[in-house]
């Protein structure tokens, strides 16, 4: 691991930051493509774990996910490179818009373009979700956790923070009881 | 000095905002009251622009608010202050995760968390489908389907399934279509 490794991490995450439209979840398809398909740095399970931890931690979900993945690649320097890479395009683009383009950005055709981009993001998320389902739902109990979590969040609007914490407790209970029985 | 105040205010937001970019919103509203950096009306524009530019919404808003308050340096300082607590915390968690990688307890925790993450992503998909493909109404079962948007969605999904295409190519395609067609 050397300077070039950190630069490589920075560039990869800058690319992810520049291509993510929307909140933390919109990043998942792009992140998956870059760090799993292209670079082969981590597994799908590792990505889901990092995303879960970022959900329950203070701060920006996308940045925390990146920092945690970066840490696994090159410890503290990796975490820093990933986090700074992730925010670099945002800072650049927003500064340019705030300085020069604010009026132009509020015109209707731009809104129309972003409405179409949101449809694309929906397609991307559904597409990625189907592969992640296979990694997360591996038996009957994880299927139950998925169903309960989905109902809790969609119908009862439970915060993702509690969902992640409760599912962790559920995981401990189920696996401990299974160990007791077999 | 404004840079110090900016740094401190956004560091505080970074420490308490759990749940991502939109969780920083109430704190930004609070700043419109506490400071004369920007007004609530300006904040609405900032949110609109932050949501429609690439990158995490929280970072975009912090950069925007920081820029409005203290120009270029202000934007950089606000963003970096916002991410600092989380990034430092991730270093500790990453370290602990490597140390206890094979601990049975951690494996149990992740066994429970992974399907929940799948549910969170499914929820995100559902939310975005609601916004883009259903008309606005009180209850979603009363909403009408936006057929052109649904058609475009299925078309993009088909392309994704059929060809190994980069996500950005899909986004670019949607941007081009969106500049001509209104969904």
Complex-level ipTM: 0.85
Element counts in chain A: helices (H) and strands (E): 8, 0
- pLDDT above 70 covers a percentage of chain B that reads 97
Helix (H) or strand (E) holding A146: helix A140-154
Examine residue A167 and state whether it is found in any structural domain, yes or no.
no
Residues B113 and B41 in one domain: no
B56 and A145: CB-CB below 8 Å? no
What pLDDT was estimated at residue B143? 79
Helix (H) or strand (E) holding B78: helix B57-99
Rounded Cα distance, B86 and A3, in Å: 24
Last residue of a domain, one of B99, B130, B150: B99
B174 and A98: CB-CB below 8 Å? no
What pLDDT was estimated at residue A22? 73
Kindly tell me if the per-residue pLDDT of A1 is higher than 60. Answer: no
Rounded Cα distance, B25 and A54, in Å: 18
Residues B62 and B12 in one domain: yes
Residues B88 and B162 in one domain: no
Kindly tell me if the per-residue pLDDT of A146 is higher than 70. Answer: yes
Kindly tell me if the per-residue pLDDT of A2 is higher than 70. Answer: no
Examine residue A97 and state whether it is found in any structural domain, yes or no.
yes
Examine residue A16 and state whether it is found in any structural domain, yes or no.
yes
Examine residue A144 and state whether it is found in any structural domain, yes or no.
no
Last residue of a domain, one of B99, B117, B132: B99
Residues B147 and B88 in one domain: no
Rounded mean pLDDT of A67-82? Answer: 97
What average pLDDT is seen over chain B? 88
Total of domains in chain B? 2
Confirm if A144 and B88 have CB atoms less than 8 A apart: no
Rounded mean pLDDT of A38-46? Answer: 95
Nearest CB to B86; choose among A48, A67, A116: A67
Query: Which residues lie closer than 8 Å to B83 by C-beta, 6 or more apart?
Result: A59, A60, A63, A67, A83, A87, B14, B59
Neighbouring C-alpha atoms within 13 Å toward the C-beta of A33: 21
Return the SS3 of A97.
helix
Give me the domain span that covers residue A26. 3-102
Residues B7 and B92 in one domain: yes
Phi–psi pair at A47, nearest 5 degrees = -65, -45
Helix (H) or strand (E) holding B156: helix B147-162
B139: confidence class by pLDDT, cuts 50, 70, 90: confident
Residues B26 and B44 in one domain: yes
Rounded mean pLDDT of A152-179? Answer: 89
Q: Which two tokens stand for residue A145?
A: 């956790």
What pLDDT was estimated at residue A103? 75
Nearest to B152 by CA among A23, A108, A121: A121
pLDDT tens digits for range A90-114: 999 999 998 887 777 678 888 888 8
Residues B94 and B120 in one domain: no
Residues B87 and B108 in one domain: no
Query: What is the reported pTM?
Result: 0.85
Give me the domain span that covers residue B117. 104-180
B21: confidence class by pLDDT, cuts 50, 70, 90: low
A64 and B90: CB-CB below 8 Å? yes
Examine residue A164 and state whether it is found in any structural domain, yes or no.
no
Rounded Cα distance, B160 and B156, in Å: 6
pLDDT tens digits for range B51-65: 778 898 889 999 999
A3: confidence class by pLDDT, cuts 50, 70, 90: low
A114 and B94: CB-CB below 8 Å? no
What pLDDT was estimated at residue B148? 92
Chain A residues with beta carbon closer than 8 angstroms to that of B74: none
Rounded Cα distance, B80 and B58, in Å: 11
Return the SS3 of B20.
coil
Last residue of a domain, one of B64, B99, B134: B99
Distance from CA of A63 to the nearest CA of B (A): 7
Residues B85 and B109 in one domain: no
């Amino acid at each position: 691991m050397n300077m070039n490794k950190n630069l490589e991490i920075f560039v990869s995450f800058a690319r992810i930051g520049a291509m993510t439209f929307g909140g933390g979840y919109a990043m998942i398809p792009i992140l998956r493509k870059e760090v799993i398909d292209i670079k082969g740095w981590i597994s799908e399970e590792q990505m889901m774990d990092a995303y879960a931890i970022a959900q329950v931690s203070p701060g920006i979900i996308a940045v925390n996910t990146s920092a945690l993945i970066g840490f696994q690649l090159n410890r503290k320097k990796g975490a820093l490179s990933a986090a700074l890479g992730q925010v670099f395009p945002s800072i650049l683009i927003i500064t340019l818009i705030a300085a020069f383009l604010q009026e132009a950005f509020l015109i209707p055709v731009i809104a129309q373009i972003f409405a179409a981009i949101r449809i694309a993001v929906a397609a991307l998320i559904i597409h990625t979700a189907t592969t992640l389902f296979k990694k997360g739902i591996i038996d009957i109990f994880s299927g139950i956790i998925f169903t309960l979590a989905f109902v809790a969040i969609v119908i009862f609007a439970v915060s993702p923070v509690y969902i992640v914490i409760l599912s962790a407790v559920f995981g401990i209970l189920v696996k401990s009881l299974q160990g007791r029985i077999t | 000095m404004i840079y110090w105040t900016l740094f401190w205010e956004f560091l505080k937001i970074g420490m308490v905002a759990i749940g991502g970019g939109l969780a920083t919103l109430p704190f930004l509203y609070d700043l419109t009251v506490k400071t004369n950096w920007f007004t609530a009306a300006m904040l609405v524009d900032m949110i609109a622009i932050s949501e429609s530019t690439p990158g995490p919404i929280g970072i975009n808003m912090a950069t925007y608010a920081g820029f409005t308050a203290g120009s270029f340096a202000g934007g950089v300082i606000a963003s970096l202050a916002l991410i600092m607590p989380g990034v430092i915390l991730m270093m500790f968690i990453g370290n602990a995760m490597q140390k206890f990688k094979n601990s049975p307890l951690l494996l149990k925790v992740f066994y429970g968390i992974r399907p929940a993450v799948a549910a969170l992503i499914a929820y995100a998909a559902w939310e975005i489908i609601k916004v883009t493909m259903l008309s606005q109404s009180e209850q979603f079962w009363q909403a009408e389907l936006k057929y052109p948007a649904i058609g475009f969605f299925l078309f993009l999904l088909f392309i994704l399934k059929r060809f190994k295409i980069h996500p950005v190519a899909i986004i670019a395609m949607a941007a081009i279509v969106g500049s001509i067609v209104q969904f």
